[in-house]
Structure 1
Amino acid sequence: MRAGAVAAVAALTLLFGCANQQTPPPAAPAAAPAPPRVTDPYPSTYRPYGGVPTAITGATIFDGEGGRIENGTIVMAEGRIVAVGGPDTPIPDGATRIDGRGRWVTPGVIDVHSHLGDYPSPQVAAHQDGNEATNPVRSEVWAEHSVWPQDPGFSRALANGGVTTLQVLPGSANLFGGRGVTLRNVPARTMQAMRFPGAPRGLKLACGENPARVYGGRNQMPSTRMGNVAVMRATWQRAVEYRARLRRDATTPRDFQLDTLVEAMDGNILVHNHCYRADEMAIMLDMAREFGFRIASFHHAVEAYKIGDLLRENGTCAAMWSDWWGFKMESYDAVNENIPLVHNAGACAIVHSDDANGIQRLNQEAAKALADGRRMGINISDEVAWRWLAINPATALGIAEQTGSLRPGKRADVVLWNGNPLSVYTRPQQVWIDGAMMYDMNNPRLRPVSDFELGQPGEGDVH
């Protein structure tokens, strides 16, 4: 009986074993592949306006890189600069000729720090779209998603200031304000139709008083400069760890905040840092080394004159005003020679606006700084100073291969001034963007006007 029981158990074991082999459990379904990450979900749809082959002759030319040509000629065709030289420069048959005698030609002015479109005119509460002041870290927001193309400020910057390219940034309430966008200064229905094709986006950072004031008053960190640095470092560290997870596992859930910082660490987004004091700029340069990103430019940089050597060694530009200072404590230790002192140290100096009115007079801001430098013995020529408005901002924005100087093959972004552009009495006479004449002071049909400026229907109108 004992032997029979053992045989029965063995038979049952074999039976169940066979059954398990014959009907295995269903395999788990394969994980669906992660959807591809869209690297540019809001791509540029910019298309140049139509132009005609054009030659300006007899003008004084500042080439934007420090060169000067008297009695010069510049030729534009098919949206590009074809030739720049003296009076013997060949001009294609059939090209429109413009007599530039007694006038100056420069590259289009480039502003690296603007809020046009995000703080448009009229400045009412409904238009305050530049600061997402809900958390000190807001790197997930993009300034371009607030840009209103009908802002009258765009056409005023073109007509009064010769501005052909500008970077629109978020405000400085946050440590990480979000992404900036570089625009062509052309009339368009959409932001995408203004976006400079191929220009990298920016990341706006802010040091100092603004973030500490905005958040410290809410019993929220940061409330001090050391709090600013601590929150920044913790955020960059999260980005470092997030990037490592992405490289290990492509299915890692998206984090829009950290995506922006990873792009900055990878060099695809350029960092632009609102910062006034020299000590804080030095700390930010150290932070950039700690976490492996590069600061393309410090903005406002009232104390940049103290650290010109550090800026030069790190390849970081300083975007500055000529004489706007003293409106808060961190802006007090200023000198009117800031821009020429930074230039004289061999660093990259830029004149910027941060203002809807100032953007219309950046040439005058450069002239004031130039005069202040000369009074203290820094003798910079007019044509070299024009770098502050042309090739230097183009370099900071990552577009120097396309614009910022009058070189054959570059985009034909050109301004014909009716006098010396460093004179308060001078203004643009004609402006070309990609070889298309976008403004002519003598032609009412070539004076861009926003739809918003055309007026509202009268009370008796049917609409």
Structure 2
Amino acid sequence: MTRLLFAALLAAIPLTAPAAPSDPYPSTYAPVPSPPVLIRNATVLTGSGERLDNADVLMQDGKIAAVGAGLTAPANAQVIDGTGRWVTPGIIDVHSHLGVYPSPGVNAHNDGNEMTSPTTPEVWAEHSITPQDPGFGTALAGGVTTMQLLPGSANLIGGRGVTVRNVYANTYQGMKFPGAPWGVKMACGENPKRVYGGKGSAPSTRMGNVAGYRADFIAAQDYMRAWDKYNAGDKKGDPPSRDLAKETLMGVLKGEILVHIHCYRADEMAIMLDLAKEFGFRISAFHHGVEAYKIADRLAAEGVCGALWADWWGFKMESLDGIQENIALVDRPEKGCAIVHSDSSEGIQRLNQEAAKVMGNARRVNIDIPPERAIRWLTQNPARALGIGDRTGTLAPGKMADVVLWNGTPFSVYAKAEKVFMDGALMYDRGDKSRQPVSDFMLGQEAAP
């Protein structure tokens, strides 16, 4: 779809997603209107652990209407022959920096780390997003329909992340996932102590890291008590002075803002779990976690997801003890929540292949993971970690019709996303250039031969 056509479609749609009252920068995202679509006779991975052969998927009114065999198409439906093809939910990446570190990678675009203080809960990644980043389009071509955009990992508390729909828009609010909770990005280990220790300030050690978290959460508790006291007194007298940093952490303490932590070592993840208990908040996911396999049972027992790479390891000391079976071991059969994430503008284009590498590495140690389970690493589990699992992540009736039609099994180096639907609308078609969004930055630029 050309940029102008797509922008015209969006401009013609009434806003249907009112934001929560507490959001001063509300979402203006609205689905593109579309006729019903029926995909017939495909291999369907529902994202919830089921594989259906020779099955149909019906999308209607922006939702999944039905999944099963022999479905009847409405009179005005577009019918697609899925013979030999596979259908999955749209891929969700819980860890991306698209837009906050847009292409081209120049200093003028370096907007992901507010390296002015070790803790900056007051900053929001959404205020750095460049919607014209061409990386959004290449991610869409890889089947990615939703992603969390995060600050970087220089700070102990780097600020709020935001969940977005992977659509073309002139503003980030046009991409913002309506009603999705914010996430706060925290980081442990080497990065904060290197950044600030290198400046001759705290933290310069891991014990300094933990002291920094605790000091900020103690201050946030005091702030929350002050507001609770004011609200309980029928708002008599002057309210407490607003503090944007403490507001974010108060949201964490109240369970309104989800916690995502960049953390590599098992011992540090255990410390962060204890920190969460000390202050009464819950960790949604550890990101990167190359040693997550060492505490996989505890992660499963406490309902914490591991958002992990397939095989990145060894590039610094805290990543030295990674193994290629990490995700397979974190993916405990009952309560495990394993996620394949990117943290890369290139890796996000082939998350399906990253999941395939995990399956291959597991097979070599006699762990057989079928496609219907592996797809959950890319769809259901990340939706759970982002607090949007009731709306997307599986092909269940009533959920958003975020659907990818693949040319074959997605877990192959030969896999290509042929068509990508979002809210039932065809947003990407590999065979139709008018359905391949082009960012403003790329207009007039031809790909190098």
Does structure 1 retain, via aligned residues, the 8 Å contact 2:300–2:332? no
The corresponding residue for 1:58 is 41
Matched-pair contact (CA < 8 Å) for 1:143–1:168: yes
Give the C-alpha shift of residue 248 in structure 1: 1.4
Per the alignment, residue 96 of structure 2 pairs with 114
Task: Give 4+ residue runs of structure 1 displaced > 6 Å after superposition.
Answer: none
1:85: how far off?
A: 0.5
Q: Does 1:438 align with 2:419?
A: no
Aligned residue number for residue 359 of structure 1: 348
The equivalent of 1:297 in structure 2 is 285
Q: Aligned match of 1:451 in 440, 444, 449?
A: 440
Secondary structure of 1:347's partner?
A: coil
CA shift digits 1:91-148 (9 cap, x unpaired): 2222110000000000000000000000000000000000001100100000000001
Q: Secondary structure at the match of 2:330?
A: helix
Whole-angstrom distance in 2 between the partners of 1:272 and 1:370: 25
Kept after mapping to 1: 8 A contact 2:35/2:76 = no
How far off is 1:217 after superposition? 1.3
Hey, what does 1:217 align to over in structure 2?
198
Alignment of 1:366-445 (within 5 A): 366-445=355-434
Render the CA deviation track for 1:123-181: whole Å, top value 9, x for unaligned: 0000000000110010000000000100000000001x100000000000000000000
Q: Which amino acid aligns with 1:252?
A: P
Residue of structure 2 in register with 1:94 after alignment: 76
* Deviation (angstroms), 1:314: 1.1
Residues in 2 aligned to 1:78 and 1:344: alpha-carbon distance in whole angstroms: 36
**C-alpha separation in 1, matches of 2:95 and 2:21:** 27
In structure 2, distance between residues paired with 1:184 and 1:326: 33
1:44-70 deviation digits (Å, cap 9, x = unpaired): 110111211000001000001110000
2:324 corresponds, among 336, 350, 369, to 336
CA contact (8 A) 1:302 1:325 kept: yes
Partner SS for 1:344: coil
SS in structure 2 at match of 1:362:
helix
Q: In the alignment, what sits opposite 1:32?
A: none
Q: C-alpha deviations, 1:410-437, integer Å up to 9, x for none?
A: 0000000011100101110000000110
The aligned amino acid for 1:377 is N
Give the corresponding residue for 1:255: 243
Q: Distance in 1 between matches of 2:152 and 2:416?
A: 29
Aligned residue in 2 for 1:192:
173
Given candidates 197, 211, 226, the residue that maps to 1:230 is: 211
Gaps (5+ residues) in structure 1?
1-36, 457-463
Which residue in 1 is equivalent to 2:297? 309
- State the distance in 2 between where 1:38 and 1:104 align: 40
Do 1:140 and 1:258's aligned partners in 2 also have CA atoms closer than 8 Å? yes
Shift of 1:219: 1.6
C-alpha displacement at 1:377, in angstroms? 1.4
Distance (whole Å) between structure 1 residues aligned to residue 132 and residue 48 of structure 2? 33
* Native 8 Å contact 1:59 1:71 kept in 2: yes
**Offset of residue 247 of structure 1:** 1.2
> Is there any run of 5+ residues in structure 2 with no aligned partner, and where?
1-19
Mapped to 2, the partners of 1:244 and 1:38 lie a distance apart of 22
TM-score between the two structures when normalised by the length of structure 2: 0.92
For residue 426 of structure 2, what is the amino acid of its counterpart? M
Please give the residue correspondences for 1:1-20 in structure 2 after superposition, counting only pairs within 5 Å: none
Q: Report the aligned-residue RMSD.
A: 1.3
Q: 1:264 corresponds to which letter in structure 2?
A: V
**CA displacement at 1:297 relative to structure 2:** 0.2
1:150 corresponds, among 116, 132, 135, to 132
Question: Offset at 1:38?
Answer: 6.0
CA distance in 2, matches of 1:360, 1:38: 35
CA distance in structure 1 between the partners assigned to 2:206 and 2:301 by the alignment: 25
* 1:265-304 mapped onto 2 (5 Å cutoff): 265-304=253-292
Counterpart of 2:59 (choices 69, 76, 86) is 76
Whether contact under 8 Å (1:344, 1:378) holds in the other structure is no
Hey, what's the Cα distance between the residues in 1 that align with 2:101 and 2:180? 22
- The count of residues paired between Structure 1 and Structure 2 equals 419
Identity of aligned residues (%): 61
